[in-house]
Chain A
C-alpha cells in the first residue's frame, strides 16, 4: 500500500527534524573522523587519514575504553543481582501496599533528577558522609584516588537500579507462580526453588536487563563527570574533552563513530534476546 497524503503530512515534520539533526550530522561526523587534525581550525583541513582511529589503540586511550567497559560490566552484574530479588518480591507479594510502595519508590526515583541523586551520593558516600567508613572497610580510603572508582560505581548502580527492577518485575510476572508452588509442595526448599525453577526461567529477562543496563552505563556521561573527580573518565568524557578543551573534532568524531558501532552491536544483541524470549524457549 502506498502512503496516503494524510500519512505523509503526519510523518513529514518528524522526518525532517530527524533527517536534519541526526542523519545529516552522523554523515558529517563520519567524514570528519577521517580528516587530519590541524589545531585551531574547523572544517576542511589537510587531507584524509585513519590516524584518528589508530591513535585510540594506543595504551593511553585504550585505557579509557577499558575503564568504561570494566566498570560498566561490574555495575551491570551487581545491578541484576540486586534488582532481581526486589523485582521478585514486588511481582509475587499478595499485599497491595507492599507492591504499591515498591512501585512508588522506583517510579519516583526514575523521575528524580540524576543530578540530585549524584549530589546525594556525594554527601552520603563522600569524605564528609555517613557511609565514608565503607571505603576503609573495603581497603580504599575515602580520600585515596582509588575511591573515585568506588563512587562512580555507586553512582551508576543507583542510577540504573530502579529501571532494571521495573524491567524485571515484568519478567517475574510472566513466570507462572504455579511452577514455584509445585516445586515447593514436592519438597524443594525455598533456595532450591529460586535457583532451580525461577532463575532458569528468568534467564532471557535477566540477560536483556543486563544488556540494557550495560548500554546505559557505558554511554553515561554525567556520573563519571561528577563523581569521577577527574580520575575516572569514560569514553564519553574523553569525547567531551576533545570537543571543548582542545577542539580536536576529528578525534572526537572517531570516538563518536566507535561508540555508535558499539551501541548498534548492543541493540542487535538485545533484539536477538527479545526474539529468543518470543520463541518461548528457556534456558536448558
Chain B
C-alpha cells in the first residue's frame, strides 16, 4: 500500500522545518554573538567604551593587561592555585576511586556518597563554611584557597577516574597477582595505566574549575592574595573597561585550545558517546 502524501502535509513539514531552523539559528546566535562582540571590542582603539563596532583597532587593551600588576599577580596566584589543587585533588580523588571501583567492601556506598557530596552542596555554602571555620586566621589566604578548591574539585576527579575504571574486569589485576606480582606491582603496572585517561581528564577538570572559581574564593581571599577571577569581578563591579575584554579573549583562546587537544586525545564524540541507536 502506498500512502498518499498530500500537498498540505508537504507544506506543514516545510513550515515546521523553517521554524525549527530559525529556532536553532537563534539559539546558536544567542550563545556565540556575545563572545564575538567581546573579542572584537578587545581590539578597540578608543579610550572609552563606545558603541559597537569600534571605528579603529589596536592592541592597547592587551598592553594594559600586561602592564597591570594586580592582574598579573592574580594570574600567578590563580595558576599556582589551580596547579596545586589539581595535584592534591587528583591524588586524593583518584586513589579513592581506585579503592571504590575495586570491591564491595563494607561501607563502600557511604564512602562514595561522602566523596561525591561536595558536588551537591552549593559552592557558596562551601565558601561560607570555610570562611567561617577559618575566620580566626590560623591559615594564610593561599592555604585556605587550596582547601576550598580541593573540596569542590574532589567529586570531579573521583567521578572521572571511576568512569574510566567501570567495565575493566577485576580479573586483570588478579591475574597479575596469581602470576607472582605483589599487589602493589599489580596496582602500578595494571590498574593505574588502565585508569590513566580518567585520571588525566579529572585533573584537567580540577584545573579548569579552580582557575575560574569565584563563589568559594571570594570568602577566602584577603587584601594580599587575590585570584585573577576575584580581581576581575571587583573590576567589573566597579567600572567597565576593555582590559577585561582582552583577558576574556585570552580565556576564549584557551578554551578552544583545550577542546582541540581534548578532541585529539579522546575525540569529542567519545566525550558524549553515540548512544544506543548508532553504530
Q: How far is the CA of A14 from the CA of B263 in the complex (A)?
A: 31
Q: Are B52 and A158 in contact (CB under 8 A)?
A: no
Chain A 221-238 against B: per-residue CB contact (8 Å), 1 yes, 0 no?
110011000000000100
Given the complex, which residues of A lie within 8 Å of B271, measured CB to CB?
103, 107
Which of B92, B219, B245: most chain A Cβ within 10 A?
A: B92
Given the complex, which residues of B lie within 8 Å of A236, measured CB to CB?
122, 124, 215
Q: Is A173 an interface residue (CB 8 A)?
A: yes
Q: Is the interface of B mostly helix, strand, loop or mixed?
A: helix
Q: How far is the CA of A219 from the CA of B215 in the complex (A)?
A: 10
Of the candidates A10, A29, A114, the one whose C-beta lies within 8 Å of that of B132 is A29
Q: Is B169 an interface residue (CB 8 A)?
A: no
Task: Give B206-247 interface residues, CB cut-off 8 Å to A.
Answer: 208, 211-212, 214-215, 218-219, 229, 232-233, 236-237, 240, 244-245, 247
Q: Is B117 an interface residue (CB 8 A)?
A: yes
Q: In this complex, what residue of B is CB-closest to A21? A: B151
Shortest beta-carbon distance, A129 to chain B, in Å?
Answer: 7
Q: How far is the CA of A158 from the CA of B232 in the complex (A)?
A: 19
Given the complex, which residues of A lie within 8 Å of B49, measured CB to CB?
123, 128
Q: How far is the CA of A169 from the CA of B273 in the complex (A)?
A: 9
Q: How far is the CA of A190 from the CA of B14 in the complex (A)?
A: 9
Q: In this complex, what residue of B is CB-closest to A262? A: B122
Q: Are B125 and A104 in contact (CB under 8 A)?
A: no
Shortest beta-carbon distance, A106 to chain B, in Å?
Answer: 8
Q: Is A13 an interface residue (CB 8 A)?
A: yes
Given the complex, which residues of B lie within 8 Å of A117, measured CB to CB?
34-35
Q: How far is the CA of A132 from the CA of B158 in the complex (A)?
A: 44
A1-B105, A112-B255 given as contacts; is B95 within 8 A of A22 (CB)?
no
Given the complex, which residues of A lie within 8 Å of B96, measured CB to CB?
10-11, 14-15
Given the complex, which residues of A lie within 8 Å of B30, measured CB to CB?
82, 157-158, 161
- Which of the candidate stretches B21-29, B55-63, B64-72 sits at the interface with the other chain? B21-29
Which of B31, B93, B218: most chain A Cβ within 10 A?
A: B31
Q: Are B255 and A22 in contact (CB under 8 A)?
A: no
Interface residue total, chain B, C-beta cutoff 8 A:
105
Q: Are A25 and B132 in contact (CB under 8 A)?
A: yes
Q: Are A123 and B37 in contact (CB under 8 A)?
A: yes
A115-B236, A225-B233 given as contacts; is B102 within 8 A of A219 (CB)?
no
A1-B106, A190-B16 given as contacts; is B147 within 8 A of A21 (CB)?
yes
Q: Is B264 an interface residue (CB 8 A)?
A: no
Of the candidates B13, B99, B128, B208, the one whose C-beta lies within 8 Å of that of A189 is B13
Q: A2-B106, A126-B240, A221-B215 given. 15 additional CB < 8 A pairs?
A: A6-B187, A11-B95, A115-B251, A116-B35, A116-B248, A119-B244, A120-B35, A158-B34, A177-B277, A178-B277, A185-B3, A190-B17, A219-B122, A219-B123, A253-B132
| Interface residues of A, Cβ cutoff 8 Å to B | 1-4, 6-7, 9-11, 13-15, 17-18, 21-26, 28-29, 32, 42, 82-83, 85-86, 89, 91, 99-100, 103-105, 107-109, 111-126, 128-131, 157-158, 161-162, 166, 169-170, 172-178, 185-187, 189-191, 194, 219, 221-222, 225-226, 236, 239-240, 243-244, 249, 252-253, 256, 259-260, 263-264, 267
- 30 A-B residue contacts at CB 8 Å? A1-B105, A6-B99, A10-B99, A14-B115, A15-B111, A18-B115, A21-B150, A22-B117, A103-B271, A103-B272, A104-B268, A105-B28, A107-B262, A107-B268, A109-B31, A112-B255, A115-B229, A120-B34, A123-B49, A124-B38, A173-B276, A173-B278, A174-B276, A189-B9, A190-B13, A190-B16, A222-B214, A226-B236, A259-B122, A263-B120
